[in-house]
Amino acid sequence: MTAKCPICSAPVVREFKPFCSKRCADRDLNRWLSGVYVVPGVDGEAADQIPEDAFEDEGDDASDAHAARKPN
């Protein structure tokens, strides 16, 4: 089955799942943060409000993220 990047609809790359690239992952994260959590002018508080659970949607990928640091 082929998953698509929710940002640009390109095929998902396993390394950056569920996105196609780090750029899209960052873009989604930034959009999510700015849209939901960041109140303009108080970015000092934003970090404290990010739920850790947000990054654990897919448990398997936690280890992948670490592996991604070294080239294939």
29 closest CA partner among 12, 46, 10: 46
DSSP state of 2: -
Q: Which residue lies nearer to Zn ion by CB, 20 or 61?
A: 20
Q: Which residue lies nearer to Zn ion by CB, 10 or 65?
A: 10
Least distance to Zn ion, CB of residue 21, Å: 6
Least distance to Zn ion, CB of residue 17, Å: 11
Write down the residue that tokens 């750029």 correspond to.
Answer: 23
Q: Which residues bind Zn ion (CB under 5 A)?
A: 5, 7-8, 10, 20, 24
Q: 11 pairs with which residues across the strands?
A: 4
